[in-house]
Amino acid sequence: MKLLVTGGLGYIGSVVTHRLLDAGHEVEILDDLSTGHLDVLPDGVRLHQHDIHDVDQVLTRHAGFDGVLHLAGLISAGESVHHPDRYWDVNVTGSLRLLAAMRDASVPRLIFSSTGSMYAPKGMDTLTETDPIAPPGPYATTKYVTDLAITDHARAFGIAAASLRYFNAAGAAGRLGERHDPETHLIPLALHAAATGGTTRIFGEDYPTPDGTCVRDYIHVEDLATAHLLALQAVQPGRHEIYNLGNGNGYSTKEVLATVEQVTGTTLTIQVDPPRPGDAVVVVASADKAARELGWQPQHPDLTRIIGDAWAFHQHNTLSHPAIQ
Ligand SMILES: NC(=O)c1ccc[n+]([C@@H]2O[C@H](COP(=O)([O-])OP(=O)(O)OC[C@H]3O[C@@H](n4cnc5c(N)ncnc54)[C@H](O)[C@@H]3O)[C@@H](O)[C@H]2O)c1
Ligand SMILES: O=c1ccn([C@@H]2O[C@H](COP(=O)(O)OP(=O)(O)O[C@H]3O[C@H](CO)[C@@H](O)[C@H](O)[C@H]3O)[C@@H](O)[C@H]2O)c(=O)[nH]1
């Protein structure tokens, strides 16, 4: 297929792009480089350096795209609380522009990067796609609203669509890994602190969880990439399916930091800060639907492996920054 990956120069998009190329697809990338990195652009892949709002300039009728993998967007739950306008503009308005462009150019397939952080709290139980939605902040709201828009557009315009509700993406794929600036995610921040002797912060330790810190389901970025390939094959015209993507294992922030210490052979300096606004307490997936309907089975569920791959990436990236071939 000829595919457009929006956000293809970002963390997850770069891994997805490489897997699509490996599977024999033709890929072009739309990315405004706001948080992405040019050095992950594979040889021979065409880059359209555009804002997502201008996606219609790329998805023209004569361009002949068979599908779009839509990963471009703003991603920080904490930042979204202070700048909801930006999140609605990029994540919602940008996605609506994409849907209109797909309709106008008759592009038949869409795979969207949604989030597992939109569900109502369910204690320590795993979350299924039919559980009640209660976004904890603007970021998750923008993903939910976009999911609703996709359902309506898929039905009306015959688009074959899937929303992949990632839980916490983590790990690295060789030389492709997480390089956000500023970084807000727990694992890369802790690895950076391990490497530099800096301080790692825990946002809140009085949550109603076994050790008082938040619990998340960390899923290897390689396993997320596999799900995109499977979803592309499975989508049906006029239908929009939603899939949770996680391992079904919840790890607390303190457990993650202990694993970082084990993997890096360091003792972290840890400081406890107040809870971060917009944070959910426990977010753990049931990915039974993805297993049943897509045949998706995570290959790297072990947290030590996930953090080990991120550590290998971090070390390489620090040593030879930014020499990604
Ligand atoms: N990282 C996670 O744990 C996680 C979990 C659930 C969902 N997601 C979603 O997955 C997607 C990718 O996340 P990521 O961690 O790779 O983030 P990222 O910031 O590394 O990548 C996002 C990419 O989109 C591009 N982009 C941002 N705004 C744009 C705009 N207005 N126009 C064009 N391009 C733009 C950036 O330059 C970047 O290359 C996002 O939609 C995010 O919400 C991520
Ligand atoms: O320095 C830090 C950073 C994070 N945390 C905590 O660690 C957990 C994980 O935080 P983070 O790595 O920032 O990820 P999330 O906020 O859980 O969000 C990620 O995972 C969501 C899916 O669950 C996606 O929707 C988001 O895009 C993605 O950023 C949370 O409880 C945070 O409060 C800390 O205690 N200290």
The pLDDT > 70 percentage for the chain reads 98
Q: Same domain for 86 and 184?
A: no
Which tokens go with 140?
Answer: 């998750």
CA dist 211 and 283 (Å) reads 15
β-sheet bridge partners, residue 112: 70, 163
| pLDDT at position 139 over 90 | yes
Q: Give the CATH number, domain containing residue 178.
A: 3.90.25.10
Q: Same domain for 159 and 212?
A: no
| ipTM associated with this complex | 0.97
Identify whether 292 is part of a domain: no
Q: Judge if the beta carbon of residue 12 lies within 6 A of ligand 1.
A: yes
Q: Same domain for 76 and 148?
A: yes
Q: Judge if the beta carbon of residue 35 lies within 6 A of ligand 1.
A: yes
| Range name among 3-7, 125-129, 189-193, 317-321 with the lowest pLDDT average | 317-321
Q: Same domain for 14 and 153?
A: yes
Measuring from atom 17 of ligand 2, which residue has the nearest CA? 168
- Give the type of residue at 249: N
Q: pLDDT of 279-289, one tens digit each?
A: 889 999 999 99
Q: Residues 139, 145, 148, 154: is their CA dihedral positive or negative?
A: negative
Identify whether 296 is part of a domain: no
Residue 190, pLDDT score: 97
Whose CA is closest to 190, among 199, 181, 180?
Answer: 199
Q: Same domain for 52 and 157?
A: yes
Q: Same domain for 199 and 305?
A: yes
CA dist 133 and 120 (Å) reads 5
Q: Give the CATH number, domain containing residue 115.
A: 3.40.50.720
List CB contacts of 324: < 8 A, sequence separation 6 or more.
Answer: 37, 39, 40, 175, 176, 317
Q: pLDDT of 41-100, one tens digit each?
A: 999 999 999 999 999 999 998 999 999 999 999 998 888 999 999 999 999 999 999 999
Instruction: Please count the other Cβ atoms lying within 10 Å of the Cβ belonging to residue 72.
Output: 29
Q: Judge if the beta carbon of residue 9 lies within 6 A of ligand 1.
A: yes
CB under 6 Å to ligand 2: residues?
A: 75, 77, 115-117, 166-168, 184-186, 189, 201-203, 214, 216, 253, 276, 279, 283
Domain count, the chain: 2
pTM of the model: 0.96
Q: Same domain for 82 and 144?
A: yes
- Give the type of residue at 217: D
β-sheet bridge partners, residue 4: 28, 68
Q: Ligand 1 pocket check: which of 29, 31, 216 to mutate, most ligand atoms within 8 Å of Cβ?
A: 31
Give catalytic residues, as residue numbers. Answer: 139
Domain range enclosing 252? 172-216+248-284+301-320
| Range name among 26-40, 174-188, 240-254, 257-271 with the lowest pLDDT average | 174-188
Identify whether 156 is part of a domain: yes
Q: Same domain for 144 and 209?
A: no
- How far is the CA of 94 from the CAs of 51, 131, 246, in angstroms? 8, 27, 26
CA dist 167 and 182 (Å) reads 21
Count of alpha carbons within 13 Å of 34, Cβ hemisphere only? 12
Identify whether 294 is part of a domain: no
Q: Judge if the beta carbon of residue 51 lies within 6 A of ligand 1.
A: yes
Q: Same domain for 131 and 193?
A: no
Residue 70 alpha carbon, nearest atom of ligand 1: 41
Measuring from atom 20 of ligand 2, which residue has the nearest CA? 168
Q: Same domain for 162 and 183?
A: no
Q: Give yes or no for a contact between 221 and 11, defined as CB atoms under 8 angstroms apart.
A: yes
Identify whether 16 is part of a domain: yes
